[in-house]
Amino acid sequence: MKEITLPSPAKLNWLLHVGATRPDGYHSLNTVYQTLDIADEITVKLLNTDTDECILAGFPSDIDPQTNLVRRAWQACRKAFPGQVPSVFISARKRLPRGGGLGGGSSNAGIVIRALVDLCNLGDINDPALLAKLQTIAARIGSDVPFFISGGVAQGTGRGEIITPMKSEKQFWLVLLLPDASVSTAAAYRMLDQHPRPDVTEIDWQKKVIQLQGALSDGNANLLASLIHNDFDMFAAQYDWFHKSVSRLKEANCLRAFLCGSGSTVAGLFKEEASARKAAQTTGGILTSTT
């Protein structure tokens, strides 16, 4: 039986501006996503059965298998590519924390779509028409699922689902601290709505993205540190776990400490591998780098 095993990476957001609430209830986003080298591992195996089956293994027991995002990814692909996607067995080796803002569930769903493209010969992933179709499927599963189809660095607009790839040749080193707090994404957005936020014009946003692209292309960690912005930092600032994590990372000489997505993971950006490695030891955090 055909099968494939792929890493399902974590992500962080170098920039994350949350705009107004849209008529569909989502918020407009201006963000820059980045995949990291820490990852779950997802294996997808095609099954030769007459029945419609998506058998799951290795996922946390409190996730309802019927609503698991990987099952929804399989169902969406079956619908979009009729007769081409058979029953599957999907197993996970989970390493990414939940409720941490690292996008684990969305990443798993995006990677299952990738895996099905390969296993079921759905087309060439480099074909822009296919990529657009896959991103439309992915967007129905979650706002950040389309990003995980290609990963790397990319702008996200709309509600985060409209992806524009950016260049990412240089590697940056980070330490992730996982406070003992789980953040509900929906609750974090509701909380943000209670605070006025600066309006970011399209021109300001594009300027920031261009500066960020310069810092990423030059491997300039100092400049990158000065540009990082996450509106959810404002939400997290009311919690002790955020301040404690930021202090620990600063004491370990990070250039900048910031929230991953809507939290609760706090990332520290370091100048180079050696200082990040040392900081991971002193803080007990996870050493990681950009992909």
Active site residue ranges: 11, 144
Q: Evaluate whether 19 touches 152 at the Cβ level (below 8 Å).
A: no
Choose one: 21-29, 201-209, 222-230, 247-255; the region binding ligand C5P (CB under 6 A): 21-29
Binding of ligand C5P by 72 (CB under 6 A): no
Is residue 176 a contact partner of residue 260, using CB atoms and an 8 Å limit?
yes
Per CB under 6 A, the segment of 24-32, 59-67, 232-240, 276-284 that binds ligand C5P is: 24-32
Q: Does 29 bind ligand C5P (CB under 6 A)?
A: yes
**Closer residue to ligand C5P, CB minimum distance, 143 or 275:** 143
User: Taking CB under 6 A as the rule, does residue 142 contact ligand C5P?
Assistant: yes
- For ligand C5P, give the closer residue by CB, 33 or 270: 33
Locus of tokens 């990852």 = 39
Instruction: Say whether residue 11 binds ligand C5P (CB under 6 A).
Output: no
Query: Binder to ligand C5P among 185, 211, 253, 289 (CB under 6 A)?
Result: 185
What CA–CA distance (Å, rounded) separates 237 from 241? 9
Q: Among 14, 147, 173, 189, which residue sits at the site for ligand C5P (rule: CB under 6 A)?
A: 189
Asked whether position 59 contacts ligand C5P by CB under 6 A, the answer is no
CB of 262 to ligand C5P, least distance (A): 8
Task: Single out the residue of 9, 11, 14, 27 in contact with ligand C5P (rule: CB under 6 A).
Answer: 27
| Segment interacting with ligand C5P (CB under 6 A) among 26-34, 73-81, 270-278, 281-289 | 26-34
According to the binding rule CB under 6 A, does residue 159 interact with ligand C5P? yes
Q: Does 205 bind ligand C5P (CB under 6 A)?
A: no
Residue 98 contacts ligand C5P per CB under 6 A: no
- Which residue ranges make up the site for ligand C5P (CB under 6 A)? 26-27, 29, 142-143, 159-160, 185-186, 189
